[in-house]
Amino acid sequence: MLGLSALAVGCAGTRRPTGPSAATPEPGRPVVGLASWYGQQHQGRSTASGEPFDKNQLTAAHRTLPFGTRVRVTNVENGQSVVVRVNDRGPFAAGRIIDVSLGAARALGMVGAGVARVEIVVLGEAN
């Protein structure tokens, strides 16, 4: 009986972060996981930070990092890297650690794939 109760609670549909992306990464400490990108469908819409989304800027969505935080994102498959600024919240897809803008996805060589295994390293807050 207890097992079914725990299963029912675990299946509740919430947007509460879980897994490796739930904790805020420490500056300088690499975290590896999946990244996805977003672009045209959000162009011009307000991000969680209040600024308009620009698909061509080097920005990202992270669940817990403060807005303005700079993060180096490296595609572990091809070694391409880019520094992005967090200005939005997400990703909300299970197992993903960061969402990047289309501009950042281009720099990472992941546009066609849509999702890539990446390493993220927090560099610090923007000036």
Instruction: Give residues with Cβ within 8 angstroms of 6, minimum separation 6.
Output: none
Q: Is the pTM of this model over 0.85?
A: no
**Quick one: pLDDT at residue 126?**
66
From 42, 19, 39, 9, select the one nearest 94 (Cα to Cα).
Answer: 19
Going from N- to C-terminal start, the domains of the chain cover 30-125
Q: Which long-range contacts (CB under 8 A, 24 or more apart) does 40-48 make?
A: 40/102, 47/87, 47/88, 48/87, 48/88, 48/89
Question: How high is the pLDDT of residue 27?
Answer: 87
- In the chain, which residues have pLDDT < 70? 1-23, 126-127
CATH of 30-125, one of 3.20.20.20, 2.40.40.10, 2.60.120.10, 2.60.120.960: 2.40.40.10
List the beta bridge partners of residue 98.
Answer: 35
**CB–CB of 114/37 below 8 Å?**
yes
Side chain identity at 110, as an amino acid letter? Answer: M
